[in-house]
Structure 1
Amino acid sequence: MNEPRDPRVRSLDARSLRGLAHPLRMQLLDALRFGGPATASQLAEKLGESSGATSYHLRQLAAHGFIEDAPERGKGRERWWKAAHQGLRFDDALLADANPEVRGAADTYLHEVATAQTRDLSTWLGNRHTWPEEWNRTWDLSSATLRLTPGLARELVEKMHALVETYRDRAIDEDNADAAQVRIQTRAFPLSTE
């Protein structure tokens, strides 16, 4: 029996992956997902890009259904954009697709995700002194190296994801001054012992 899919999460397929697998497009999508609606000019300034480049890549993201107009925010000629989904789901089968362009897009996507996660962590480490002391006592940067079979590794990943999901329903109201967006990053991969 298939478990129901969360409509807030978009599953990537070969076509949509090719429309997303570009460093600037992924940065733009993240900026809209985590920062809320914005214009091409606002995003250009935030990301240090030209408004022409951001406009082009925003249109590409819209053509592939990743973002949509936010008309409730627009005034006059300003075009506001917002993320169409809260999350993305990557299918490992894309890495083995018969089309080399799809495999290349899958590799690009995964490398950009890893780069973005590293950038987020580095930003936190560089700015943690600006956060209240209570937040400086709650963050975590740990690792564990375990000897597992592929089946046990999959079980561990699934349990970590299930645990994170239990907190999604406990989300704190945006008006709560003590709340902040908290990024949870999980990584599990085999290490070469040679």
Structure 2
Amino acid sequence: MTEHEPLQPRVLDARSLRGLAHPLRMELLNALRRGGPATASQLAAKLGESSGATSYHLRQLAAHGFVEDAPERGKGRERWWKAADEGLVFDSDQFQDADPEVRGAMDTFLHEVANAHTRELSTWLATRNEWPHAWARSTDMSDMTLRLTPDLARELKGRVHDLIDEYRDRAPGTDTPDSEQVRIHTHLFPIKTD
């Protein structure tokens, strides 16, 4: 893959979920996706971890295909890592009959995703006044409640993902003025109304 080819999201399976479901691994992967290639030492400094821990967990992520070497960056013995995909797709249908170990990994993964979303949203709220007005008026923190069947909910989820994919295909390059990485969080779940 060349540096200019767009990366695609990865659909998690039971094996990859077990390899990813660790808070530090998820942080490392997110740091590489957002900040680009880095060494274990750079990531350790950024995340407040030891380089031994980041190095170990990067190797585990590589063993499961989440990260790969970035040899174009390395000099000598310096090992650079980069994300192997753009994001993750969690399809709960794949885990309906999961064994207890996979269910435990799934719980860890989903709770870490929820925690990451909370941190990202809190960071945005704390720094929103530092952004240009054009960005402030282009953000969204909406919530809506609909009454849907499971089939309609799956259809809505699919249409939202298709729409996001359309924008992924139209994404400007990093050299485009005023372009920034944006985070899109979607949450769709039933609630009890009693």
**What is the TM-score normalised by the length of structure 2?**
0.92
Which amino acid is the alignment partner of residue 138 of structure 1? Answer: S
Amino acid at match of 1:60: Q
- Percent of aligned pairs sharing the same letter: 69
In structure 2, the CA distance between the partners of 1:45 and 1:7, relative to structure 1 (3 Å rule), is closer
Q: Is the 8 A contact 2:14 2:95 kept in 1?
A: no
Report the secondary structure of 1:68's partner residue.
strand
CA RMSD of aligned residues (A): 1.6
Runs of 4 or more consecutive aligned structure 1 residues displaced over 6 Å after TM superposition = none
Aligned to 2:121: 121
Residues 126-181 of structure 1 show CA distances to partners (whole Å, capped at 9, x for unaligned) of: 11111111111111001011112112222221121111111111101210121001
Whether contact under 8 Å (1:33, 1:86) holds in the other structure is: yes
Aligned to 1:32: 32
**SS of alignment partner, residue 28 of structure 1:** helix
Equivalent residue number for residue 61 of structure 2? 61
Q: Which runs of 5+ in 2 are unaligned?
A: 1-5
CA separation of 1:142/1:98 partners in 2, compared to 1, >3 Å: closer, same or farther? closer
Alignment of structure 1 residues 1-194 onto 2, 5 Å: 8-194=8-194
Q: What SS does structure 2 have at the residue aligned with 1:180? A: coil
TM-score (norm 1): 0.92
Q: Does 147-156 or 38-47 show the bigger shift?
A: 147-156
Residue-pair matches, total: 189
2:3 maps to which residue?
A: none
Corresponding letter in the other structure for 1:144: M
Q: Is the 8 A contact 2:7 2:84 kept in 1?
A: no
Deviates more, 1:150-159 or 1:88-97: 88-97
